[in-house]
Structure 1
Amino acid sequence: MELSIGTIALIIFILAVVFIGKTIQVVPQQHAWVVERLGKYHAILGPGLNIVVPFIDRIAYKHLLKEIPLDVPPQVCITKDNTQLQVDGILYFQVTDPMRASYGSSNYVAAITQLAQTTLRSVIGRMELDKTFEERDHINTAIVNAIDESATNWGVKVLRYEIKDLTPPKEILHAMQAQITAEREKRALIAASEGRRQEQINIAAGEREAAIAKSEGEKQAAINRAQGQAAAIIAIAQATADALRQTASAIREPGGADAVNLKVAEQYVNAFANLAKTNNSLVVPADVSNLSGMIATALQVVKSQSRETPR
């Protein structure tokens, strides 16, 4: 049966579309496609529009160039002190050489996974249990360095490895929790004792400072009282001396001696008058009638004192 012209044209159009679809290849960003020509490596197609030869070239491998997280399956490791420890981690890698990633290993993901597990067992086996919790950064760095050296031949760059979880056996976990509890109780007791010790020190220091302040206050008060008494004595003495000087000066004035005679006589008479009003026993001179002689004697004493007083 003969084909019509329209059918032939349709077939030619379909073949052209298929040919063009096989010729033009659009590679997404952050991707790399490996092209084989007649079964042999030919080229790597980068992001964008690419031209290949249909039915001769074929896209053999497609690689993602972004950073890829790889969950490493949990495994049981034996520490240096013969303790089982289950370790779970995650590995981050990136394809840097699509050609090597295609032909360097049949499955580079499985290869780096197995290498991460074996390296992890080796690193953990050289450490004690307590150190594994403290040296996570060291473990991560050691695993990355060991894997990256081998992964270079696979066209893969290992960026980092992170331990997600370290799980010891239940018996070891209970023992560690008991040790942590005991250590915290010990710290609490030490802190309480230090607090009581500091409290006693503060109280003793306060009492000492209070006693010193009190003694200083008493000392200053005694000094102030002594200085006040000394000042009072000096003031009284000074006033007495000034009174004596004024009395002596008044006596030397004209009529001063007569005034003194009159004053002494008045005081003498007043003194005897006051004594006579009381019931006290008195000792009086033998010659009470000779008042003028007694007054003269008193005046003589006053004159002698006035002469001795400095001007």
Structure 2
Amino acid sequence: MSLGLVVVPEGRAAVIERLGKFRVVLGPGRHFVAPFADAVRARVDLGDQILSAPPRAVETGDGREVLIGFEVVFAVTDPRLATYEISNPAIAIDQLTTTALRQEASLTTAERAVIAPGDLHRTVWTVLHDTTGRWGIVTRELKLEVRPPAAPGTPSTAQEWY
């Protein structure tokens, strides 16, 4: 911030604090703020963001493992909540999705997880949608890749996204 001028690019927002307390969210454009009293707390990207996680081994309820990867498309809808409710949205969404997948997979069999991943998808989607809404974030899409682990020495090329 120079001489009280804050420039916010298109597709972004700036969360402004005055003397350490939330003051306002600024949209795109040039804005004058009080020098030395106001500070930019965060610059938030309002566009769609994609979080991808490679397949990870997850144990199912029958003691077997499946590989589950995911891709989440999300966007910040409320910069104030996204700044103050959660410190790093991408890490939080990754951990939330991984935890929900592991919990749900532990309640099903490996065969069911691979054949009918729609059940996993519905449950994880509900958890994501409900939780991220409180953070000022909307989850637009969730894709899951569920497959059995490849036999040793056998390359696995089958990938299905749901």
Fold conserved between structures, TM > 0.5? yes
Give aligned-pair identity as a percent: 28
Unaligned 5+ runs, structure 2: 155-162
More strand by share: 2
Structure 2 CA distance for partners of 1:141 and 1:153, relative to 1, 3 Å: same
Q: Using the alignment, how far apart are the partners of 1:65 and 1:95 within structure 2?
A: 5
Residues 66 and 146, structure 2, Cα contact 8 Å, conserved in 1: no
Higher RCO, 1 or 2 (CA under 8 Å, sep at least 6)? 2
Q: Using the alignment, how far apart are the partners of 1:169 and 1:87 within structure 2?
A: 12
Greater Cα radius of gyration, structure 1 or 2: 1
**1:124 corresponds to 2:105:** yes
Q: Using the alignment, how far apart are the partners of 2:90 and 2:3 within structure 1?
A: 30
Query: Deviation string for 1:255-280 (max 9, x for gaps)?
Result: xxxxxxxxxxxxxxxxxxxxxxxxxx
- Which secondary structure does the structure 1 equivalent of 2:23 belong to? strand
More helix by share: 1
The alignment of Structure 1 onto Structure 2 pairs a total of residues equal to: 153
How far apart are 1:169 and its partner, in Å? 4.6
Q: Using the alignment, how far apart are the partners of 1:106 and 1:64 within structure 2?
A: 14
After superposing on structure 2, the runs of 4+ consecutive aligned residues of structure 1 that deviate more than 3 Å are none
Residues 79 and 127, structure 1, Cα contact 8 Å, conserved in 2: yes
- Give 2:32's match in structure 1, choosing from 51, 58, 62: 51
**1:93 corresponds to 2:74:** yes
- Give 2:141's match in structure 1, choosing from 160, 165, 190: 160
Q: Using the alignment, how far apart are the partners of 1:150 and 1:103 within structure 2?
A: 15
- Give 2:85's match in structure 1, choosing from 104, 107, 117: 104
- Which secondary structure does the structure 1 equivalent of 2:105 belong to? helix
Residues 17 and 41, structure 2, Cα contact 8 Å, conserved in 1: yes
Q: Using the alignment, how far apart are the partners of 1:35 and 1:28 within structure 2?
A: 15
How far apart are 1:124 and its partner, in Å? 1.6
Q: Letter of the aligned partner of 2:112 in structure 1?
A: K
Residues 72 and 117, structure 1, Cα contact 8 Å, conserved in 2: no
Q: Letter of the aligned partner of 2:93 in structure 1?
A: I
Provide the TM-score with structure 1 as the length reference: 0.46
Aligned residue runs from structure 1 range 227-306, under 5 A: none
Tell me what 1:35 maps to.
Answer: 16
Tell me what 1:138 maps to.
Answer: 119
Q: Using the alignment, how far apart are the partners of 2:147 and 2:114 within structure 1?
A: 8
Q: CA RMSD in A?
A: 2.1
- Give 2:95's match in structure 1, choosing from 102, 114, 120: 114
